[in-house]
Structures are given as C-alpha cells and as structure tokens.
Amino acid sequence: MAVESEVVVVGGRGEKEHFHVLAVDDSVIDRKLLERLLTVSSCKVTCVDSGDQALKYLGLLDDLHNTINASSPSLHSSHHEGTKVNMIMTDYCMPGMSGYDLLKRLKGSPWKDIPVVIMSSENVPSRISMCLEGGAEEFLLKPLQLSDLEKLQPYFPKFPDNSCEGESTSADEDNDQDNNHYNCNSISKRKATSAEPREKSRSKMKEYN
C-alpha cells in the first residue's frame, strides 16, 4: 500500500479515514487560512460560516422547525453523510450565534465528547476562562499560525511510535506500519522548513546574489 502523508485514523470497520475538522468562521479570509493550515497539517477540513450552519452540518438543527434535535436518532455517533467529525474549531465572535453559544450547544448534545477549539482575535482573559470552563479544549489567538496547530497535536490520534510530539524528524521509521498508519512526515518536514514561531528571532537577512 502506498505511503500517504496524511493523518489517518482507523475507523470502526477498519477503513482508513482522515482526521476531520469542522471549521466555523464568518470571515472568508480566516476560513481560507484555517483550511490551508489544517490541510498542511494533514487534516480533512469542512468549512462553514456560522454556528447555525455548523449545527445543521452535525444534524443538530431541524431545517423545518429550526429547533435543536438533541435526541435525534440520526446521530449514529458523529456521522453526517457518512463523514465523521473529529474536532470542531470555531471563531468566538460571529454574528448571531457566538462560538461560545455553539460550544454550549455542542456540550449539551450527543456531540459533547468531540473536542472544541475556540479562536479569537481578542486576548480577553475572562473570555478565555469562560470558554475553557465551558468545555473548550483550547483557546487560540488569531491570527493563526502553524505553531498554533502544533498545540492541537495531542487531540490527533496517537499511535505507539508517534514521533511528532517533538522536533524529531525520525518519522521515516514509522512508515512501515500497515493499517494503523500515522505518518507525520508532512508535519515534521514543514516544521523543519517553516519560519520559526513568533517568539523566537528569525535568521539574519539573506541577500540575494
């Protein structure tokens, strides 16, 4: 079987699936950025532009009556059109339903165990604690960078020889696993070639000769 550089989760029936993130943001620019960041991190991404759209996607909103179907029988766990959602990343400040509102609704639904990450351009400590206390796994400050996605590594599925947690690039040894294949080469490589995180100083100016 060809080695694929993707984060692969083995589904219940043994088929390979990708780590699927549902991204919720009313800004078209931020959706595009997040989609690219997640794709580069080897995730499958679905973008929606509001909390309502997110709930609809998850099958929690009845289009006709616009009510929450908390006990919807269609929720054979977390499937929508046969696609499992592994994580939800949502902007905090959105018109209509806020990211926090969405978080609360999710925690009161059959989706309560799916990790939710909240993003915001504003660094408001009380907002951050409120979200974390409300059940959010992480709170990320915008604008998002690759280094922020690294904070989400713990939520990606773990395998015994996972070598993506550090700066190690010894992931090559892991490629021989067959079904349970977690190839983090793309993440390691990108770390090696990407710009250093904001906090560190960058290399000196390179003059073009």
Partner 1 sequence: MDVGQMQRQLVEYTKSLFIEGYLDSQFLQLQQLQDESNPSFVAEVVSLFFEDSERILKDLTFALEQKIIDFKKVDAHVHQFKGSSSSIGAQRVKNACIAFRGYCEEQNVNSCTRCLQQVKQEYFIVKNKLETLFRLEHQIIGAGGSIPMVELSF
Task: Determine if the peptide bond prior to 95 is cis (ω within 30°).
Answer: no
Is 192 among the residues that bind partner 1 (CB under 8 A)? no
Q: Is 193 exposed, middle or buried (0-12, 13-18, 19+ CB in 10 A)?
A: exposed
Q: How many residues does the chain have?
A: 209
- Total interface residues for partner 1 by CB under 8 A: 28
Instruction: Enumerate residues 6+ apart whose C-beta is below 8 A from 76.
Output: none
Between 33 and 75, whose beta carbon lies closer to partner 1? 33
Question: Would you count residue 65 as binding partner 1 (CB under 8 A)?
Answer: no
Cβ-based nearer residue to partner 1, 122 or 172: 122
Binding mask 103-142 for partner 1 (x = CB under 8 A): ------------------x--------------------x
Residue 86 burial (10 A CB sphere; 0-12, 13-18, 19+): buried
Residue 85: which residues within 8 A CB-CB, separation 6 or more?
Answer: 20, 21, 22, 46, 57, 58, 78, 111, 114
Applying CB under 8 A, does 195 fall inside the site for partner 1?
Answer: yes
In the region spanning residues 11 to 40, those forming contacts with partner 1, defined by CB under 8 A, are 27-30, 32-33, 36-37, 40
C-alpha span between 71 and 128 (Å, rounded): 30
CB of 58 to partner 1, least distance (A): 25
Residue 177 CB neighbour total at 10 angstroms = 14
Q: Which is nearer to partner 1, 60 or 89 (CB)?
A: 89
Smallest distance from partner 1 to CB 108, Å: 28
What is the binding site for partner 1 (CB under 8 A)?
27-30, 32-33, 36-37, 40, 93, 95, 121, 142-146, 194-195, 198, 201-208
